[in-house]
């Protein structure tokens, strides 16, 4: 097993009347275990054109009903640039230039869920996106010429 940690720090000296600082650290464990770390990761960097809602991280049987964690960052620098992140046609929200997200992803394959693929659409300009999936497994595709 591997040991992977994710730490967030939220801070501001002037949002409130006093300093605000919040920090949390978590270990990325497999679901249903007390302390067995996730062992697999995919890390990507890509340029996303505008105009189309793309599948960014596709659902698969190997990912279902367990612990997967997704990190996405918008690496653009123009403050008007943003991407919409969605699951199953439900928009989670917008990542503007420099924004990031970190969230669990269950990959629900039930009929009711319909489609749990994580989608991304770029607006204003093409976007440089980096994303990581720390995951429980991957459905490999048998080579067509095997």
Partner 1 sequence: MATTTATITIASSDIADNSFSVSNTSTLTTAGTDTGITETTGLGRKKFASGSNIVLLDGGLTSGIAADVTADKSAKVYIKNHNDRGNGTKYVTILLAAVEIGRLYGGDWMFIPWCAASGKDIEFTASDATETTLEYTCFYE
56: left (phi over 0), alpha (psi -120 to 50) or beta: alpha
Residue 137 main-chain phi, psi, to 5 deg: 180, 170
Stretch that binds partner 1, among 46-54, 93-101, 135-143 (CB under 8 A): 93-101
Assess 27 for contact with partner 1 (CB under 8 A): yes
Residues 114-133 that bind partner 1 (CB under 8 A): 116, 132
Asked if 136 is part of the footprint of partner 1 (rule: CB under 8 A), the reply reads no
Of 56, 85, 120, 133, which lies in the binding site for partner 1, with binding defined by CB under 8 A? Answer: 85
Interatomic CA distance for residues 84 and 90, integer angstroms = 10
67 binds partner 1 (CB under 8 A): yes
- The span from the CA of 118 to the CA of 139, in Å, is 16
Q: Residues 41, 133: contact at Cβ < 8 Å?
A: yes
Binding site for partner 1 (CB under 8 A): 2-16, 20, 22, 24, 26-27, 29-35, 37-41, 67-71, 73, 79-80, 82, 84-85, 87-88, 90-96, 98-106, 108, 113, 116, 132, 134
């Amino acid at each position: 097993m591997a040991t992977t940690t994710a730490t967030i720090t939220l801070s501001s000296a002037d949002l409130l009347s006093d300093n605000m600082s919040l920090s949390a650290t978590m270990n990325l464990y497999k679901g249903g275990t007390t302390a067995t770390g996730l062992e697999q990761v995919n890390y990507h960097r890509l340029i996303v054109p505008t105009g189309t809602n793309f599948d960014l991280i596709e659902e698969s049987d190997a990912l279902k009903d367990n612990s997967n964690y997704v990190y996405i960052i918008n690496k653009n620098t123009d403050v008007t640039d943003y991407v919409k992140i969605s699951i199953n046609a439900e928009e989670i929200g917008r990542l503007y230039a420099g924004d990031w997200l970190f969230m669990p992803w269950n990959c629900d394959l039930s009929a009711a869920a319909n489609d749990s693929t994580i989608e991304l659409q770029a607006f204003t300009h093409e976007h440089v996106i980096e994303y990581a999936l720390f995951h429980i497994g991957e459905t490999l595709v048998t080579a067509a010429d095997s």
